[in-house]
Amino acid sequence: MVKFSKELEGQLIPEWRDAYLSYRELKRHIKKIKLSRLPKHPRQDMNGDYSLSIFEPVRLAAWKICDKFRNSDSQTDVIQLRRSKSLEDGEDQEVYETDLSQLFSQEDEVKLLVRIFFEKLDEEHNKINQFYKERESEVVEKAEILKKQLQFLMDNKQVLSHIRLQKNSPSSPNFGSSPPSWSSVSPPRSSNYSESSIELAENLSHDQISESTDEVIAALDQRNSSTRNYSETKTKLTKQAKPKMGVKIDIPAETPTRVIAALTSSLWEDLVKISPKKEYCRTGDQLINRKKVQSAEKMIRGAYVELYRVLGLLKAYSSMNMMAFTKILKKFDKVSNQHASVNYLQAVKASPFISSDKVVKLMDEVESIFIKHFASNDRKKAMKFLRPQHEKKASHMITFFVGLFTGCFVSLFTIYAILAHLSRMFSPPTEIAYMDGVYPVFSVFALLSLHLFMYGCNLFMWKSKRINYNFIFGFSPNTSLKYRDAFLICTTLMTIVVGAMVVHLLLRASGVSPGQVDAIPAILLLFFLALLICPLDIFYRTTRYCFIRIIRNIFFSPFYKVVLVDFFMADQLTSQIPLLRQMESAACYFLEGSFRTHHYETCRNGRLFKDLSYVISFMPYYWRAMQCARRWFDSNDVEHLANMGKYVSAMVAAGARLTYDHKNHDHHSIWFPVVIVTSVVATVYQCYWDFVKDWGLLKQNSKNSWLRDDLILKNKNIYYVSIALNVVLRVAWVESVLKLNVNDVQQRLLDFVLASLEVIRRGHWNFYRLENEHLNNVGNYRAVKEVPLPFHEMDSDG
């Protein structure tokens, strides 16, 4: 049977951990009470040591029975939980306080410990109530805002519906059932990187708007000619066409198309004419169209999903804390032989976090709204959005296959090492062909597999330390990779690659043409590329397509809105520059046909190849710098510009080292001091940012010396070792400058080892980066993502 403390630890919301009942601390108080109630008359021997006689167990049992009978007639109302008002932050707060006057008649150590226990319990009780009321008021306020947003959405859809009917039958007097609500339609002319000014091709001229309004009024004239309310209706519609208070639609420009369109439209707003093919509605100087309304509907739907999720979290928070109160008070009754839990639990049940029914009612309301407006009255469809079911994977089967492929990988690698030695693969006649053609492809897969292995280790540590990585990355728990999945992909990949390496050696040893045998790495590379983009639902399709989408967002920086998973992946790419360089070599080798002719001058000394090496070395840093620029543009936070400077300095250092490498490492050239200075500056910049910004460490006034106040790992020494290790691995560039006196094969292997160390450093960095992000979420109680809302009220000059 699982202890409740472990059950609570496993089910609590990580970001709200500090707001839960401190169950373990209260258990320690109860243990002190239990120890204080034990008889204190053991026999003392001559040496001062205490020992028990053989009758001591009988005496102890008799004492417990007598104590139980002494308290058997005690009343159940031995404590009273009183409510009072206290002024805190200028507001009246309801505070609970326990009266212990009837619990014990004598003043002794036991009563003192009991008093301390109930003071702590009252403190926790008030903390939970206060937290619950704050979160409850937030969701109630958010629900009211979403109701207004939904009403604006319905008004805009009604307007578009009338315009569409008018276009289809302009002469029909009954083209609509009621006049459109023009006042709800007024997005801004332009906004900060927003789509509000994107669709200029859909604007109507002023004459068209007047004509459209006149047609609507004419239709109403025909319908209401026999009624007394004709003039009132006409006047009302005319007024609605020029509202004093409008609503703008602000759709964030998160894609390159929207960004480019927003910039173009803001420049040519007064010159571009409106396309009559798209559906629109315009009031004064502001417009809407069907595409905007669809985007707004999607945003509001997402906001309702997040609202429902936080309501579910509040409901679980309430029930889990109630269970914790019940368990801890039962333990207290058992230890103290009192009946204190009855009154206290009654007061707890009357507390806001249990007695309030706002959350339950709001959940029902959100369900009904979602079913009606976003699921076409299909409850089953709505529940797929609101309550996604988590798939249960056969973890034992995954573990079995991980072990199987690991064994295969070790066996095949052993066979490969033996065959390479017997066939003299690394001897001077054949080493050039092998290291220039075959080695780059296999090293690419090796570095990729190592990175996947480190990611699997990260997933394992994040899960074991209750770091909510799915929420931080924005992944769905239903489809995101688990650590076993990462290990399975890693071992499968390396087993296939080493198997291909063994086949390659066997074919070369059997006398097959080298031109045909050396095509095996290219076939392997094409196979994995085809698997990556395969549309079939096999081999983690959701993860593969998510990876492609993230790479697309990085490639088109800064046109895509930057979220954490995007710049996290871009940081991984900065540690895989050697992998990208190896891919460049492999591409040149196969596209140039060197695997058939075995002429390697083009891929070693060609001008184009050298120029591309600069581009590839710069690209990851450039992408990351553009992401920082986009984040600064969106948030106006200067810290992002400082972060961009870090990647610019890394680009300068990488360019200097590459130029120095092309100069054959001449220590007497001017590039040697340039490399030293730029590399030292970049390294100091990166280390500072790693420790202070990314990891949140090196706090001078922290209670943990030079770390931070909140630490997830219990052993503080691990953080100090991690800081030292990160610094050591950051200065691995020294070897590329000094260049040890080794042959070509040994230099390739040394470069591979250094590239592997950088991947290991990045995996090590990943844990602390997400730990810091998780602690920031915990500090702000962020358990659900914030969804921007599309409609904003604004004053209009019309």
> Which residues are CB-contacts of 465 (< 8 A; sequence separation ≥ 6)?
712, 713, 771
Q: In the predicted model, what is the mean pLDDT of residues 478-493?
A: 91
Quote the tokens at residue 628: 């920082």
pLDDT of residue 579: 93
> Which residue has better confidence, 788 or 231?
788
Residue 611 in contact with residue 543, Cβ under 8 Å?
no
Quote the tokens at residue 123: 């403190």
Q: In the predicted model, what is the mean pLDDT of residues 377-389?
A: 84
Q: Is the pLDDT of residue 282 over 60?
A: no
pLDDT of residue 621: 97
Residue 630 in contact with residue 558, Cβ under 8 Å?
yes
Q: Which residue in 608, 624, 528, 609 sits closest to 572, CA to CA? A: 624
Which DSSP string do the residues of 19-82 spell out, in sequence order?
GS--HHHHHHHHHHHHHHTS----EE-TTS-EE--TTHHHHHHHHHHHHHHHTTT--S-S-EEE
> Which residue has better confidence, 697 or 263?
697
pLDDT of residue 426: 67
41: pLDDT confidence band, cut at 50, 70 and 90?
low
- pLDDT, one tens digit per residue, over 131-157 is 999 999 999 999 999 999 999 899 888
Helices (H), 337-394: 341-349, 352-355, 358-374, 379-386
565: pLDDT confidence band, cut at 50, 70 and 90?
very high
> Which residues are CB-contacts of 289 (< 8 A; sequence separation ≥ 6)?
160, 199, 202, 278, 279, 280, 281
321: pLDDT confidence band, cut at 50, 70 and 90?
very high
Residue 540 in contact with residue 482, Cβ under 8 Å?
no
Q: Is the pLDDT of residue 60 over 70?
A: no
Calpha distance 215→218 (Å, rounded): 5
> Which residues are CB-contacts of 596 (< 8 A; sequence separation ≥ 6)?
515
| Counts of helices then strands in the chain (DSSP H, E) | 30, 8
- Backbone angle region of 243, left / alpha / beta, with phi > 0 → left and psi within -120 to 50 → alpha: beta
Q: In the predicted model, what is the mean pLDDT of residues 10-24?
A: 90
pLDDT of residue 208: 45
Which DSSP string do the residues of 692-724 spell out, in sequence order?
IIIS----TT-SSTTS-S--SSS-THHHHHHHH
pLDDT of residue 202: 39
Q: Amino acid identity, residue 702? A: S
2: pLDDT confidence band, cut at 50, 70 and 90?
low
Q: Is the pLDDT of residue 601 over 80?
A: no
Q: Is the pLDDT of residue 395 over 50?
A: yes
342: pLDDT confidence band, cut at 50, 70 and 90?
confident
Residue 277 in contact with residue 221, Cβ under 8 Å?
no
Q: Which of 256-270, 409-423, 573-587 has the lowest mean pLDDT?
A: 256-270
- Backbone angle region of 255, left / alpha / beta, with phi > 0 → left and psi within -120 to 50 → alpha: beta
Q: In the predicted model, what is the mean pLDDT of residues 412-433?
A: 73
515: pLDDT confidence band, cut at 50, 70 and 90?
confident
Residue 389 in contact with residue 395, Cβ under 8 Å?
no
pLDDT of residue 435: 72
> Which residue has better confidence, 424 or 286?
424
Q: In the predicted model, what is the mean pLDDT of residues 165-179?
A: 56
pLDDT of residue 47: 47
The fraction of the chain above a pLDDT of 90, given in percent, is 38
Could you tell me the CA-to-CA distances from 594 to 294, 303, 518, 587, 607 in Å, in that order?
53, 56, 10, 10, 17
> Which residue has better confidence, 743 or 61?
743
Q: In the predicted model, what is the mean pLDDT of residues 478-486?
A: 90
Calpha distance 571→623 (Å, rounded): 9
Q: In the predicted model, what is the mean pLDDT of residues 614-634?
A: 95
Calpha distance 337→330 (Å, rounded): 10
pLDDT of residue 337: 79
Q: In the predicted model, what is the mean pLDDT of residues 354-378?
A: 92
Residue 609 in contact with residue 658, Cβ under 8 Å?
no
> Which residue has better confidence, 336 or 675?
675
> What average pLDDT does the chain have?
79
pLDDT of residue 266: 60
Q: Which residue in 331, 327, 328, 325 sits closest to 345, CA to CA? A: 325
Q: Quote the crossing angle between the two packed helices 577-591 and 744-779, to the nearest 10°.
A: 130
Q: In the predicted model, what is the mean pLDDT of residues 9-18?
A: 88
pLDDT of residue 89: 53
48: pLDDT confidence band, cut at 50, 70 and 90?
very low
- pLDDT, one tens digit per residue, over 177-199 is 444 443 343 433 333 434 443 33
68: pLDDT confidence band, cut at 50, 70 and 90?
low
pLDDT of residue 746: 82
Calpha distance 437→416 (Å, rounded): 17
pLDDT of residue 396: 72
pLDDT of residue 532: 94
Q: Is the pLDDT of residue 377 over 60?
A: yes
Burial 722-761 (b: 16+ CB within 10 A, else e): bbeebeebbeebeebbeeeeeeebeebeebbeebbebbbb
- Backbone angle region of 50, left / alpha / beta, with phi > 0 → left and psi within -120 to 50 → alpha: beta
Calpha distance 779→769 (Å, rounded): 16
Quote the tokens at residue 336: 């103290």
> Which residue has better confidence, 214 or 499?
499
Q: In the predicted model, what is the mean pLDDT of residues 503-511?
A: 82
Quote the tokens at residue 589: 């080798």
Q: Is the pLDDT of residue 126 over 60?
A: yes
In the block, which residue shows the tokens 């196979």?
Answer: 527
Q: In the predicted model, what is the mean pLDDT of residues 554-574?
A: 94
Calpha distance 493→453 (Å, rounded): 11
Q: Is the pLDDT of residue 463 over 80?
A: yes
Burial 193-220 (b: 16+ CB within 10 A, else e): bbbbbbbbbbbbeeeebeebbeebbebb
Could you tell me the CA-to-CA distances from 551 to 71, 237, 569, 573, 762 in Å, in that order?
70, 50, 8, 10, 18
Collapsed DSSP state (helix, strand, coil) of residue 288: strand
pTM score: 0.80
pLDDT of residue 162: 80
Q: Is the pLDDT of residue 583 over 50?
A: yes
pLDDT of residue 347: 87
Q: Which residue in 104, 13, 578 sits closest to 310, CA to CA? A: 13
pLDDT of residue 655: 93
